[in-house]
């Protein structure tokens, strides 16, 4: 040990000030060593990607040697770390980030051009250019060669650089600055700060940290720092990072992109690719306790770039940034989502469009095959992961309701009051970790900042093979091996595509139950591989109720078998068509006003539970089972519930805003009360906390929202409480018994389904009720022909002329006749796959249909008039006849 070191230590131990000074000195030395290590890694990176410029280089780890295969920035970044740890050979002459820009003397001469070839030639196309640039470096204007590049950018500094470049007809300073700032996490994170940032001072005695330490010392330094110490250093370093002033960023980009993009595009794109490599190296080593303020600043600034979704930015820079961003941990994702939801909300649409453009481009240009699926394309999957952060930001930036409305844990407490004494083992859908950290759920968002439909990507949805995606979603091996499934990112898939995922899940459960039944039969146990329901047409509700109640009491899992319906006294094998008719008849009966189970809202034509119904809860449980079976068996129902029902089915209580589509008149009157700001509200509205409603006989029933509610007037101070209590009573408390029975029946069928994980409430309505878009042109274009008919057959031409002239009501009847349902499936009429088949020569017979297979059997009628006459009769008198 050096004696001087000993004395210094002794002095420090006896003098606290000296001790503090010594610690600061050691910390400063460590910081310089780290900077030197980082500089060496950067040199390895540029050596791998650009070479040293020597065409005769013999270093196998140098791009100039010709022995190195081209690397992506991500691969080069990882290999640079490896070379650093191995103390690999480093060429003496190497390209630095500044030397990548060629500065010839001609660049600085006054000319009529605003830029020169040397300015735009950011990345040399061959080694000779780099070498020549090095030889000619002495010819460059010293003013621009020696001008220091700032370590961070401000709005004003960028303006000054642009003004200087325009004044001198040379854009080298701008190119150098963009290259330096946008390739460095540290530099970019400090840029455009909300408050002036003062960079930490460095030792005046140190001019070149690279020359202080040799490689052995650097390796020793890296080895002696454990993970906790590294994360602490990162946290203390990042704590000085100031938030980004996004308004300043946008003004700066506006000024920058007023220039010709060709001037700086190459420099900025290359810098962003380098930045992505640095991010991919940095993020995995931050650790769980790392501070990600600097990374968040970097991503905020990058995604504000106006041209990020076009040109080389879209082809090169954006994919690299997306690949790096997927390493951002949950804490960082939550921070980024909050920033995008707050000061960055105006950029949400632009960022989403850029990501959608990237995904669509990769879907179109990538040659997928049997060994390489869309789930294996890293750019698509990483962009989807980044889009999820934006999806949550979109909710946070919208109109949110209290998470307490999701608290429906009490739903199962009184379930067993129903005569259907079946206990549910509902599997709770796992909530996304990002949603948990942000404390937000899709049910909390009353109105997102952007409509959810803008997150759908139709080219991707059409391309994805849902059987494989479902296997990745369900397979434990897939989870452990990191296989990607779009079902974990359902916001990007269209409802029609998600329906296929649900279909696979339902079919697998059906086949599983069928296999179990077969095994039971082998062992001598009586078993039925199907859910068989036998009913009489004239007594369909009571028969269905008895059958389903017995099944659910004996073995509720039988409800998950494939449904097979038989009408007593009628022949026919149920391949789907008979089941469709069964559901239709049950729905017609159950909503019959004579039953008084539901009330009809005249203004919206929606139905709601009758709070004073005398029917047993078993009837409501039956309706819940019917809805669940319809989803489970992929059948569309003619029901018209308000949206609040689907929100309640997903686990969210009804609230004031749900009244808008349940009872618009009541909603508007209550809203008028809330918006009334005068002090005479009590005299104007004359409302107390006692409300009134009618029972099935028209009698008036009073109800106090609070104890002695008739004595409590609604005032400016308590009007919000009144409105909340009123809505809660109408949508929750008044129909609590009926809805709980309904909910239980529904959950008997779908309790293990990924329904809640895949679909939002409005998509559940589509799933149950179908689309409202009756586009018969779409149906015509997707129809197939059989038995000798083609799209050019005269009968076929006459058929479509007649059908297109039908009213909406007759079109519904035609759909009912040919498919067993008058509803349009999710995805439109093209999803029906209608088949028109020849059914003999001209005759007086009516058309018939195989509703199980959507086949219309059409005789070759001699005229359009005869075809219309026979078709109209068939669709109007088809119930129980003509449908096979």
- Tokens 């297979």 — which residue? 853
Please choose, from the candidates 81, 39, 83, the residue with its C-alpha nearest in 3D space to the C-alpha of residue 62.
83
Cα distance between residue 252 and residue 266, in whole Å: 19
Cα distance between residue 374 and residue 372, in whole Å: 7
Q: Going by C-beta distance under 8 Å and a sequence separation of 6 or more, which residues neighbour residue 14? A: none
The DSSP 8-state label assigned to residue 783 in this structure reads -
With contact defined as beta carbons under 8 Å apart, do 310 and 269 qualify? no
The DSSP 8-state label assigned to residue 488 in this structure reads G
How far out from the chain centre does Cα 149 lie?
40
Please choose, from the candidates 288, 296, 284, the residue with its C-alpha nearest in 3D space to the C-alpha of residue 228.
288
Tell me the CA distances in angstroms from 391 to 356, 358, 434, 765, one per residue in order: 12, 16, 11, 21
Handedness of CA 65, 69, 70, 72 (dihedral sign): negative
With contact defined as beta carbons under 8 Å apart, do 184 and 283 qualify? no
Helix intervals (H) in 523-616: 540-554, 577-590
Active site residue 852: yes
With contact defined as beta carbons under 8 Å apart, do 620 and 741 qualify? yes
- Tokens 């559940």 — which residue? 764
Cα distance between residue 64 and residue 78, in whole Å: 19
How far out from the chain centre does Cα 509 lie?
27
DSSP string computed for 591-602: T-TTT-SEEEET
Cα distance between residue 461 and residue 540, in whole Å: 40
Tokens, residue 503: 């279909």
Q: Where are the beta strands (DSSP E) in 76-234?
A: none
Look at strands 835-838 and 700-704 and give their pairing: unpaired
Cα distance between residue 524 and residue 411, in whole Å: 39
Strand partners, 694: 700
Options 116, 322, 769, 852, the catalytic residue: 852
Q: Going by C-beta distance under 8 Å and a sequence separation of 6 or more, which residues neighbour residue 84? A: 37, 40, 41, 44
Helix intervals (H) in 67-139: 73-86, 117-120, 127-135
Residue positions annotated with a catalytic role: 852
């Amino acid at each position: 040990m050096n004696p001087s070191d000993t004395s210094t230590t002794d002095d420090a131990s006896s003098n606290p000030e000296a001790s503090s000074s010594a610690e600061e000195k050691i910390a400063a030395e460590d910081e310089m060593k780290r900077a030197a290590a980082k500089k060496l890694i950067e040199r390895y990176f540029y050596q791998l990607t650009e070479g040293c410029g020597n065409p005769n280089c013999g270093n196998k780890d140098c791009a100039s040697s010709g022995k190195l295969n081209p690397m992506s920035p991500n691969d080069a970044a990882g290999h640079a770390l490896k070379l650093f740890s191995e103390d690999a050979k480093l060429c003496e002459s190497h390209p630095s980030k500044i030397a990548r820009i060629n500065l010839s003397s001609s660049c600085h001469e006054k000319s009529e051009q605003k830029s020169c070839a040397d300015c735009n030639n950011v990345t040399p196309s061959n080694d000779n250019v780099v070498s020549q640039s090095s030889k000619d470096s002495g010819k460059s204007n010293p003013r621009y060669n020696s001008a220091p590049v700032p370590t961070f950018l401000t709005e004003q500094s960028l303006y000054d650089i642009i003004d200087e470049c325009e004044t001198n007809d040379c854009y080298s300073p701008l190119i150098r600055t963009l290259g330096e700032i946008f390739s460095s996490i540290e530099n970019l994170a400090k840029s455009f700060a909300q408050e002036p940032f003062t960079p930490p001072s460095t030792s005046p005695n140190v001019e070149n940290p690279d020359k202080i330490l040799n490689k052995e010392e650097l390796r020793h330094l890296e080895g002696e720092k454990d993970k906790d110490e590294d994360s602490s250093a990162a946290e203390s370093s990042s704590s000085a990072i100031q938030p980004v002033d996004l308004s300043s960023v946008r003004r700066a980009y506006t000024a920058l992109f007023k220039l010709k993009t060709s001037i700086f595009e190459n420099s900025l794109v290359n810098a962003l690719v380098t930045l992505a490599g640095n991010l991919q190296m940095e993020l995995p080593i931050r650790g769980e306790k790392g501070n990600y303020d600097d990374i968040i600043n970097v991503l905020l600034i990058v995604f504000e770039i106006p041209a990020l979704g076009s040109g080389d930015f879209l082809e090169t820079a954006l994919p690299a940034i997306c690949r790096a961003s997927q390493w951002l941990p949950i804490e960082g994702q939550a921070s980024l989502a909050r920033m995008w939801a707050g000061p960055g909300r105006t950029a949400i649409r632009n960022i989403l469009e850029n990501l959608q453009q990237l995904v669509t481009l990769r879907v179109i240009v990538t040659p997928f095959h049997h060994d390489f699926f869309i789930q294996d394309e890293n750019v698509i999957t990483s962009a989807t992961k980044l889009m999820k952060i934006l999806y949550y930001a979109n909710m946070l930036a919208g109109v949110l309701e209290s998470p307490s409305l999701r608290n429906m844990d009490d739903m199962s407490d009184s379930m067993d009051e129903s005569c259907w004494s079946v206990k549910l083992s509902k599997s709770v859908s796992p909530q996304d970790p990002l949603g948990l950290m942000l404390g937000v759920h899709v049910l909390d968002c009353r109105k997102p900042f952007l409509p959810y439909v803008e997150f759908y990507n139709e080219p991707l949805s059409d391309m994805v093979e849902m059987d494989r995606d479902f296997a990745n979603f369900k397979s434990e091996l897939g989870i452990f091996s990191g296989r990607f499934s779009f079902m974990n990112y359902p916001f990007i898939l269209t409802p029609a595509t998600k329906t296929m995922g649900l279909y696979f899940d339902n079919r697998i459960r059906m086949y599983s139950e069928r296999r179990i039944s077969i095994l039971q039969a082998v062992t001598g146990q009586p078993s039925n591989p199907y859910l068989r329901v036998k009913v009489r047409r004239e007594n369909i509700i009571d028969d269905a109720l008895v059958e389903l109640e017995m099944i659910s009491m004996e073995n509720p899992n039988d409800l998950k078998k494939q449904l097979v319906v038989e009408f007593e006294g009628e022949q026919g094998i149920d391949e789907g068509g008979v089941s469709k008719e069964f559901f239709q008849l049950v729905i017609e009966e159950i909503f019959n006003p004579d039953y008084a189970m539901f009330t009809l809202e005249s203004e919206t034509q929606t139905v709601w539970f009758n709070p004073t119904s005398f029917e047993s809860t078993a009837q409501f449980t039956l309706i819940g089972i019917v809805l669940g079976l319809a989803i489970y068996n992929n059948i569309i129902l003619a029901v018209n519930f308000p949206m609040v029902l689907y929100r309640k089915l997903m686990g969210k209580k009804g609230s004031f805003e749900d009244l808008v589509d349940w009872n618009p008149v009541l909603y508007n009157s209550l809203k008028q009360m809330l918006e009334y700001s005068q002090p005479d509200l009590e005299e104007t509205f004359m409302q107390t906390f006692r409300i009134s409603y009618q029972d099935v006989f028209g009698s008036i029933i009073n109800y106090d929202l609070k104890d002695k509610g008739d004595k409590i007037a609604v005032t400016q101070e308590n009007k919000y409480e009144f409105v909340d209590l009123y809505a809660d009573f109408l949508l929750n408390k008044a129909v609590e018994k009926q809805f709980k029975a309904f909910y239980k029946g529904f959950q008997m069928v779908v309790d293990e389904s990924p329904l809640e994980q895949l679909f939002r409430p409005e998509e559940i309505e589509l799933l149950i009720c179908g689309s409202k878009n009756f586009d018969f042109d779409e149906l015509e274009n997707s129809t197939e022909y059989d038995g000798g008919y083609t799209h050019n057959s005269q009968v076929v031409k006459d058929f479509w002329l007649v059908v297109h002239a039908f009213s909406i009501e007759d079109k519904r009847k035609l759909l009912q006749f040919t498919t067993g349902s008058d509803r349009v499936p999710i995805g439109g009429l093209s999803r029906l796959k209608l088949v028109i088949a020849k059914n003999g020569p001209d005759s007086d017979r009516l058309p018939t249909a195989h509703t199980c297979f959507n086949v219309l059997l059409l005789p070759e009628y001699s005229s359009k008039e005869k075809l219309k006459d026979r078709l109209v009769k068939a669709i109007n008198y088809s119930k129980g006849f003509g449908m096979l």
